[in-house]
Amino acid sequence: METAVPVGRPRTVARMAFLGGALYVVFVVGTILLFSGAPDSSSAPEKIIKYHSDSGHRDQINGGWILIGLSLFFLLWFVAALRRAVSLIDGEGILTTVVGLGGGIYIAVAGAAVALTDGLRTMSDDTSPPPGPSPS
């Protein structure tokens, strides 16, 4: 039995959901802020600690984290609108599930990865032992 889908004018928020996809581009800017200028992981520990000890570099990393978080919110908005549009065609079929789950899983994993990266980078100067001989 087919369920009737109400037909009417979409709300302004739903009509503007395409902006969520467009604003997801902020992810690129956040990624550039998060990773640009950082020393390579194969660099000397002193160099890495010195880089992350600078509050300007930590601010840059945290700014990138905030921009990526905002872009993931806009992507979530877009995925929700896309799922609704697909459900109008597919009902509650497999495509609707794939759009919802796939988008949700990507957003969750990307958010966790960025949060871990930010946390590890900004606390590396607090948790690393000071350079020099270790106390006996």
Q: Which pLDDT tens digits describe the chain residue by residue (136 residues)? A: 556 555 555 566 667 777 788 888 888 888 888 888 888 778 887 887 788 777 788 888 888 899 999 999 999 988 988 888 888 888 888 999 999 999 999 999 999 999 998 888 777 656 555 555 655 5
| 8 A C-beta contact, residue 27 and residue 71 | yes
- Dist. CA 45–CA 124, nearest whole Å: 10
- Dist. CA 95–CA 84, nearest whole Å: 11
Determine the Cα angle at 20 with ends 14 and 22, to 5°: 130
0.75 surpassed by pTM: no
| 8 A C-beta contact, residue 62 and residue 114 | no
